[in-house]
């Protein structure tokens, strides 16, 4: 059965920040026990297909008895190979139409957008959710676009036609204003990956998100 | 209908050496008119999924009215997306078992091997051909293994259980001794890609291969 997609706290695993496959597996285990609602394995250029495959398999295993879905960034073949719950593609990855054709309708499909022009060209009937960002300047993604800031994010949130997560430079200290735009969830990388106390970091994030959501009544 | 796989002169397209997608398309067109029997699109780390997809689509179009098959290196998703004739994987790509499961039995599957240990672990029932190399030191593949040389190649050719191409530093001046090992074909990158006269370079290669094959009576 297809796992539900709850975008509230969406963990993007960075293989380097986590310290390889074992680090990603440990991070995921603790983060999911403490409130993470979705997990994405992010692309890492230096990873070979074999490493990707084994990382994805190990993560699928960790998430197998949880309600938390695993999404694979970019590598549609890896997603198919391990029967992941979904795929996330960026603007320069395999086009959405092709990706949807390859994965069928039983897998979640997310798309990254950075600005209004990209948002206006989203094929809404093919996409399940958006990743909007970077909201703030980020250090974990080398090829990140210009940061949108809160005003531009608000405009994008008001225009979009499907759920979305905000990503890029978001942590416990600045997530409230992001959540207050009405966006469904927050995606984090370094706010969890590489943190000394992953349980505590995750708990604080989810608590703060829920508080902010309560304040705006969602 | 499945295209035949003739390994005699196997062109590996290097996007950088060819000068991008248009360069690869032109190179392929001329090379196929002059004797190339199979074409592979090689991985290039700096290429995005979108670029890969469009390059592969363009190459498929060029080869559509020819008997020459198109094989995609590494990116199984791209091969599936454009319905390529086959896939070529290396030792650190998606495992052969997984690749075969994803592409089914109607596509060719090639595997790179560099030494006897790798050759002895080939799942012969899943693989259609091998790429053996590098035979000589090569400049077009940064992560190439140690060159096998002719003696080691002869041992590998005598041990293998499926057809193979030799690759790595092979050109018109040294291919005779390679063909004389009894290997089915020669794969080239820089002996065609980036050559000033691709028609002439290809004609000379195929002529020399056929001569060498005649000399050993195959």
Interface confidence (ipTM) of the complex: 0.91
Report the chain A residue with the minimal C-alpha distance to residue B93: A49
Whether cis (ω within 30° of 0) applies to the bond prior to B177 is no
Give domain status of residue A4, yes or no.
no
Confidence at A69, pLDDT banded by 50, 70, 90:
very high
Q: Angle B20-33/B49-63 helices, nearest 10 degrees? A: 20
Token couple for B141: 């593949």
Predicted local distance difference test score (pLDDT) of residue B10: 98
Hey, what are A158's tokens?
């008001």
Q: What is the CATH number of the domain that holds A86?
A: 3.20.20.70
User: A18-23 contacts: CB < 8 A, separation 24 or more?
Assistant: A18/A193, A18/A194, A19/A194, A21/A51, A21/A54, A21/A55, A21/A58
pLDDT higher than 80, residue A195: yes
**pLDDT in the model for residue A107:** 98
Interface contact flag, A78 B94, Cβ < 8 Å: yes
Nearest to B160 by CA among B124, B187, B125: B124
Q: Is A3 contained in some domain?
A: no
A140 pLDDT more than 80: no
Helix (H, G, I), strand (E, B) or coil at A182: coil
What the block records as the tokens of B107 is 């596509």
Q: Which residue among A81, A92, A98 places its CB closest to the CB of B102?
A: A81
User: Which pLDDT belongs to residue A54?
Assistant: 95
pLDDT above 90 for B142 = no
From the list B9, B10, B6, the residue with the least C-alpha distance to B42 is B10
DSSP, collapsed to helix, strand or coil, labels residue B64 as coil
Domain count for chain B: 1
A78 reaches B (C-beta below 8 A): yes
In this structure, of A18-22, A114-118, A144-148, B99-103, the range with the lowest mean pLDDT score is: A144-148
Q: Look at A50 and B80 and tell me if their CB atoms are within 8 Å.
A: no
Q: Residue B115: inside a domain, yes or no?
A: yes
A84–B contact, CB cutoff 8 A = no
Does the residue B126 lie in any domain? yes
A141 touches chain B (CB under 8 A): no
**Which of B81, B89, B93 has the CB atom closest to A98's CB atom?**
B81
Which chain A residue has the Cα nearest residue B101? Answer: A81
Residue B3 covered by a domain: no
| pLDDT bracket for residue B218 (50, 70, 90) | confident
Q: Assign A171 a pLDDT band (cuts: 50, 70, 90).
A: very high
Mean pLDDT of A149-177: 97
Condensed to tens digits (0 to 9), the pLDDT of residues B20-44 reads 999 999 999 999 999 999 999 997 7
> Pairing mode, if any, of strands B185-188 and B164-167?
parallel
CB-nearest to A77 from B91, B92, B102 is B102
SS3 content of chain A, % helix, strand, coil (to 5): 40, 15, 45
Task: Confirm or reject contact between B118 and chain A (CB < 8 A).
Answer: no
DSSP B94: S
Q: What is the tens place of the pLDDT at every residue in B85-107?
A: 999 999 999 999 999 999 999 99
- Establish if B173 touches chain A: CB-CB under 8 angstroms: no
Q: Please indicate, yes or no, if residue B4 is contained in any of the structural domains.
A: no
Question: Which residue range forms the structural domain that includes residue A49?
Answer: 9-215
3-class DSSP assignment, residue B168: coil
Question: Does residue A1 sit within a domain?
Answer: no
- What's the average model confidence in pLDDT over A150-161? 97
Q: How many Å apart are CA A178 and CA A188, to the nearest integer?
A: 12
Spell out which residues of chain A touch residue B47, defining contact as CB-CB under 8 Å. none
B95 contact residues in A (CB cutoff 8 A) = 50, 53
Q: Is B102 in contact with A94 (Cβ distance < 8 A)?
A: no
What would the mean pLDDT of A76-96 be, rounded to a whole number?
A: 97
The arithmetic mean of pLDDT across residues A52-60, rounded, is 96
| Average pLDDT of the residues of chain A | 95
CB A50 within 8 A of CB B93: yes
φ/ψ of B185, rounded to 5, equals -155, 175
């Amino acid at each position: 059965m297809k796992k539900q997609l709850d975008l509230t706290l969406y963990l993007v695993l960075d293989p380097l920040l986590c310290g390889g496959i074992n680090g990603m597996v440990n991070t995921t285990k603790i983060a999911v026990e403490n409130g993470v609602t979705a997990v994405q394995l992010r692309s890492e250029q230096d990873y070979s297909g074999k490493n990707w495959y084994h990382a994805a398999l190990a993560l699928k295993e960790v998430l197998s008895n949880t309600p938390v879905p695993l999404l694979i960034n970019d590598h549609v073949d890896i997603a198919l190979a391990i029967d992941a719950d979904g795929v996330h593609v960026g603007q320069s990855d395999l086009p959405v139409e092709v990706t949807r054709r390859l994965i069928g309708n039983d897998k979640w499909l997310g798309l990254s957008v950075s600005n209004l022009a990209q948002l206006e060209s989203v094929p809404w009937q093919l996409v399940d959710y958006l990743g909007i960002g970077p909201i703030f300047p980020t250090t974990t993604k080398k090829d990140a676009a210009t940061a949108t800031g809160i005003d531009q994010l608000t405009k994008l949130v008001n225009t979009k036609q499907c759920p979305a997560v905000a990503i890029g430079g978001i942590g416990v200290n600045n997530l409230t204003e992001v959540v207050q735009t009405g966006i469904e969830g927050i995606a984090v990388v370094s706010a969890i990956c590489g943190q000394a106390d992953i349980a505590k970091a995750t708990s604080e994030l989810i608590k703060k998100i829920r508080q902010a959501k309560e304040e705006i009544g969602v």
